[in-house]
Amino acid sequence: MLIAMESDVICGEGDDGLERAREVVRQIQISVFHVSGSCAMLPRDEGGVVDEELRVYGVRGLRVVDASVFPLEPSGNIQSVVYAVAERAADLIKEARRGVR
């Protein structure tokens, strides 16, 4: 079996094919999914970046309102979930400005 990309041979017979292929995939892979989760809404001690009101831990007056707050990637298109997060964020910001929270 020969796995090739353009003219470069990645692995062939006699090589540790599977392990070499895994290494190559790790080096050149790109995501075909929606980018999300880089500022996960989780408790800080679990690696979270924002709280349940989208406020960045340790930074006053900053909220993150996009797909990066998803702790897990939704199984479908993320657009509707982003809209829902944005609507909720708008409510949270309005409440904070009125002094409700």
Q: What DSSP string runs through 48-70?
A: -SB-TT-BBTT-TT-B--SGGG-
Q: Is residue 35 part of a domain?
A: no
Higher pLDDT, 70 or 14: 70
Percentage of the residues of the chain whose pLDDT score is greater than 90: 49
Long-range CB pairs of 24-30 (<8 Å, 24+ gap) are: none
pLDDT at 23: 86
Co-location of 48 and 92 in the same domain: yes
Catalytic residue among 3, 24, 34, 89: 34
What is the distance between the terminal CA atoms of the chain, rounded to a whole angstrom?
63
For residue 69, give its domain range.
Answer: 44-98
**Residue 93 located in a structural domain:** yes
- Looking at every residue in the chain, the average pLDDT score rounds to 83
Torsion of CA 87, 89, 94, 100, to 10 degrees: 120
In the predicted model, is pLDDT for residue 85 greater than 90? yes
Catalytic residue flag (residue 36): no
Residue 37 lies in a domain: no
Which position has the higher pLDDT, 68 or 35? 68
- 76 within a domain of the structure (yes/no): yes
**Given this model, what pLDDT does residue 1 score?**
42
If one counts the domains in the chain, the total is 2
- Under the banding of pLDDT at 50, 70 and 90, the label for residue 31 is low
Any domain includes 39: no
Please report, as a single letter, which amino acid is at residue 82: V
Q: Say whether both 20 and 53 belong to one domain.
A: no
- Say if residue 2's pLDDT is above 70: no
Does residue 56 sit in the same domain as residue 89? yes
In a domain, 25, yes or no: yes
